[in-house]
Chains A and B, each alone.
Chain A
Amino acid sequence: MNLFQFMGAIELGLLYGLVAMGVLLSFRILDFPDLTVDGSFPLGASVSAILIASGVNPWVATFCAVLAGMFAGFVTAFISVRWNILNLLASILTMMALYSINLRIMGRPNIALLGESTIFSPLDATGISHRYTIPIALFFIVGIVLFALYRFLISEKGLSLRATGANIRMAKAQGVAVNRQIFFGIALSNGVVALGGALAAQYQGFAVADISQGIILFGLAAIIVGEAIFNPKFILGALFAAICGSIIYFLLRAFALNTGFLGLQASDLNLVTAVLVGFAMITPKLRSKILDFKATRSRP
C-alpha cells in the first residue's frame, strides 16, 4: 500500500463513515435493527445521480437524496409502529421494495457522473490537485454532520430519543412520545445514510443500482470495530468511533487488496477482509485478557 491508496482508504472511510453514523443511530442509540439502510444508500445514490445527470444543481440533488432517504426511513417506522410489525421485518419489507424502486428511479443500469458538475466540482476552481482537496472537503462534510448529530443528541429532543432507545417503557412513563421518537430517529438515520449514498455516487463518478451490496454489514462492522478499539463511553465518542471504525475497515480492505504475494486470488478479498476485521475486533479483548492473566499471576 502506498500513500495514494492510503489516502483513498481514508477518503472512502470518511464517506462511508456517514453510513456508520446512520447505522449507529438506529441499531445502537434507538435499539431498532433497521435494514432499510441496504436500500436507502443506493436510493441516495440513484436520486442524486439521476437529478445531476438531468442538469439539476448538485446541492439540490443531494438535498433531495437526503429527503428520499428520510422518507424511506419514515415508511419503515410507519410499518413497524403503526401496524405493530417487528422492526426487523418492517425494514426488510422497505429494503425489498427499495430495490425495485431504485431500478425504476435510475431507469438504466448505470448513470455516469464523470464530467458532470457535482458538489466536488467547485474544488477544481482552487487549482489544487484533488489529492489534497477531496480529503479536506470530505473531512469538513463528515465533521459538520458529526457535529450536528452530536448537538442534536445532547439536546432535550435528542435525550428523549436516546431515552426511547435505552428503555422504552421508562421513557413512556416519563412522558416521552416514544412513537414520534422512533419515526424521527429512523428517518434521520436513513437520511444520513442516503447522504452517504449521494456523496459516494458523486465521489466515485457513477451510480449503479447495486452500488454496494450488503452495506448494512459494513455499517455494523464499522461500529463494532470502532467500539472494540475505542470503547467509547459518551455519545460524541460513539459517533467518532463509528467514523474511525469505517476508516479502519477501508484501510484493512486496502491492505487485503495488497496481499497478492501470499498467493491469494482476487476472489479471496472478502475472506481476507473478514479475517482482518475479526482480528481488529478481537485484539483489544485479547490484550486485556493477557493483562488480567499477568495480574493474577503476579499476585502472591
Chain B
Amino acid sequence: MSKANNVKQVLKTLLLSLSLSSSLSATPPTKHIAITQYIEHVAADAVREGLLAELKEQGIEATIDFENAQGNAATAGQIARKLVSLKPDVIVAITTPSAQAIVNVTGKDTLPVVFSAVTDPVGAGLVSSLNEHKGMVTGVMDAPPIKEQMGFIKTILPKAKTIGVLYNPGDNGSVASLDIIKQEAKAQGLSIIEATPVKSSDIQSAILLLVGKVDAIYVPLDNMVVSAMASVSGTALKHNIPLFSADSGSVKDGAFACLGYSYVQTGHKTGKIVAKILEGTPPSEIPVASPETTDIFINRHVLEALKIPLPEEIRKQAHYY
C-alpha cells in the first residue's frame, strides 16, 4: 500500500508546485529583458554590470530576469527553456555555453537573442557570419587583444626576454588563448615559462617557481587567478616582478598594468544593441559588434614601488588607479 501511496503523494506535490509556480509568475509590464550567464566569472559579471548601466542610461524601463547556470550544461538548458517560455522582448546570453543553450532552444529565429563575451560566435555556431546573418541572433564578440598585450609588455620593458604565464590549466579560456600567447610572445622576442596552479592554494608556490627566471608575469583572463589577484599581485610585488593582467579590474587589486578591453564597456555595447532591438530594429540588420579600442590601466603604487620608467605616450594615455 505504501508504495502506491508514495507515488501518488509525490505526484500530488509536484502538480501542486507546478500550478503554484505558474500562477505566481505574473505577466511582466513594459519591456522585459532576460539575462543569463554560464558561471560567475570576473569578465561575465563586469559585462552584466555594464549592460545594466547602459540600459539605465538609455532610460529603458524593463523587468529583468537573471539566471546563472553555475557551470552546469544541463542547468543552462533548463534556464534556456525557462527564459524562452517567459517570452521576453530580448534574451541576453553572456558567455558562449549560455548563448549556445539559448540558441539551441530558440532555433535562431523565434526570439531576439543578444550574446556577449563570446570569443568566436561563428565557430560557436551562433551566427553564420559576423556581418550578414539571418535570424534573430546578434551580439558582441571579444577575442582578447593578446597581440597588443604582448607588444605592450615589450614597450614598457624593452629589455624583457622571458615572461611567466600564470594560469589554471582547467580554465577553458586560458587554455584556448595559450597558443596565441606563445605565438605573439615569440613575435616580440619573448620566451615563455608556464606556471600552472590547479587550485587557489597552489598559486603562491607557482609564482615562487617563476621568481628569478622571468622579467614579468602575464595573467590571461583566468577566472581562478584573476579572482585571487590581491594575493597574486602582493607576492609578485614582494619579489619585484611586474605583473601584467589581461583583466582591467586586476589593476585595482594591485596588478602593475593592463592593456585590454574594459568588460564594462563590452557590457555597454551589448546594452546599445539591446536598446536598438527594443526600438524595433531586427537583429538580422545589426552586425556582430566588437570592442574597437583598448585602454591602458596602471596601478600607481606598484609603478612607484617597481620604479619602471614609462614611455611618454603610455603615461599620457593610461588610466591610473
Contact = CB atoms under 8 A, between A and B. Distances in A.
6 contacts: A4-B84, A12-B77, A114-B124, A205-B104, A206-B104, A254-B81
Contacts of B123: 112
Interface in A195-246: 200, 203-206, 208-213, 229-231
B172 A1 contact: no
Contacts of B293: none
Contacts of A260: 25, 65
Contact of B175 (A8, A109, A116, A267): A109
B302 to A, nearest CB: 31
Interface residues of B, number: 50
A136 to B, nearest CB: 18
B68 A266 contact: yes
B76 interface: yes
Interface in A8-26: 8-9, 12, 16
Nearest to A6: B18
Interface string B1-18: 011011101100110011
Interface of B: 2-3, 5-7, 9-10, 13-14, 17-18, 21-22, 24-25, 40, 65-68, 70-79, 81-82, 84-85, 96-97, 100-101, 103-104, 123-126, 169-170, 172-173, 175-176
A213 B25 contact: no
A4 B101 contact: no
- Report whether over half of chain A's contact residues are helix, strand or loop; otherwise say mixed: helix
Interface residues of A, number: 55
A117 interface: no
Contact of A258 (B75, B82, B97, B104): B82
Nearest to B17: A255
Contacts of A291: 2
A261 interface: yes
B77 A213 contact: no
B58 to A, nearest CB: 24
Contacts of B22: 1-2
Interface in A261-300: 261, 266-267, 269-270, 280, 283-284, 287-288, 291
Nearest to A237: B3
A262 to B, nearest CB: 9
A110 B172 contact: yes
Contacts of B70: 267, 269-270
Given A204-B101, A229-B10, A248-B10, A261 B24 contact: yes
A212 B70 CA distance: 10
Contact of B78 (A115, A254, A261): A254
B170 A230 contact: no
A16 to B, nearest CB: 7
B21 A255 contact: yes
A230 B4 CA distance: 8
A288 B2 contact: yes
A92 interface: no
Contacts of A150: none
A2 B82 CA distance: 8
A212 to B, nearest CB: 6
B217 to A, nearest CB: 23
A257 B172 contact: no
A93 interface: no
Contacts of A204: 73-74, 76-77, 100-101, 104
A235 to B, nearest CB: 16
Contacts of B73: 200, 204, 206, 208, 211-212
Given A12-B78, A261-B24, A103 B170 contact: yes
A238 B277 CA distance: 51
B78 to A, nearest CB: 6
Which 7 residue pairs of A and B lie closest in terms of their CB atoms, listed nearest first? A109-B172, A114-B125, A112-B125, A205-B104, A8-B81, A266-B68, A206-B100
A155 interface: no
A81 interface: no
B21 A8 contact: no
Contacts of A257: 67, 78-79, 82
A58 to B, nearest CB: 15
Contact of A213 (B72, B84, B104, B175): B72
Contact of B125 (A1, A206, A212, A261): A206
A12 B126 CA distance: 22
A206 B3 contact: no
Contacts of B96: 109-110, 206
Given A100-B169, A266-B67, A208 B78 contact: no
Contacts of A208: 73, 97, 172
Contacts of A250: 74, 78
A9 B18 contact: no
A71 interface: no
Contact of A267 (B21, B68, B78, B172): B68
Given A259-B21, A267-B68, 6 more contacts: A1-B21, A114-B126, A206-B97, A211-B73, A213-B71, A260-B65
A41 B152 CA distance: 42
